Every structure is written in structure tokens, then in C-alpha cells.
Amino acid sequence: PLMSWSFALINLAVAVRVGLPLVGAAEIAVAGATLLWLAAFLIFVVIYAPILIRPRVDNRPG
């Protein structure tokens, strides 16, 4: 469920980045899209970093 929020934030970032410059707010669009993308990436890192850092279940190298 939390990754669904991450995907939604990415789509919202795209909408902000594309939509706001149409009304003349290009700087705000870039800043807003950046913050939304960073929030989505933070969710991704919080979920997947522990999975990628912990040892393998079968205790084999690699």
C-alpha cells in the first residue's frame, strides 16, 4: 500500500511539472515536482533499503 503512494506521487509530480508551466508558474512547477519526486523516492528507499542490505536468506555469498 505504501508503494502505491509512491507511484501516485510520481504521477502527481509529472502532472505538476507539465501542468503548472501552462499557467506561467515554471519555477514553482520545477520545485513542486522535485519535492514530490523526492517524497516518492524516500518512500522507495525506506521500503527497499532494508531488503537490499540484509543478508541472503540462504546464507550463500553474492
Per-residue confidence (pLDDT) for residue 4, from 0 to 100: 97
Domain count, the chain: 1
CA 6 to chain centroid: 5
32 assigned to some structural domain: yes
Rounded distance between C-alpha atoms, residue 30 and residue 35, angstroms = 9
61 assigned to some structural domain: no
Tell me the residue range of the domain where 9 lies.
Answer: 2-53
Digit-coded pLDDT (tens) for 12-60 = 999 999 999 999 889 999 999 999 999 999 999 999 999 999 999 998 9
Query: Does pLDDT of 61 surpass 90?
Result: no
24 assigned to some structural domain: yes
Amino acid at 44: F
12 assigned to some structural domain: yes
62 assigned to some structural domain: no
59 assigned to some structural domain: no
Question: pTM value?
Answer: 0.84
Q: Residue 7 in contact with residue 41, Cβ under 8 Å? A: no
38 assigned to some structural domain: yes
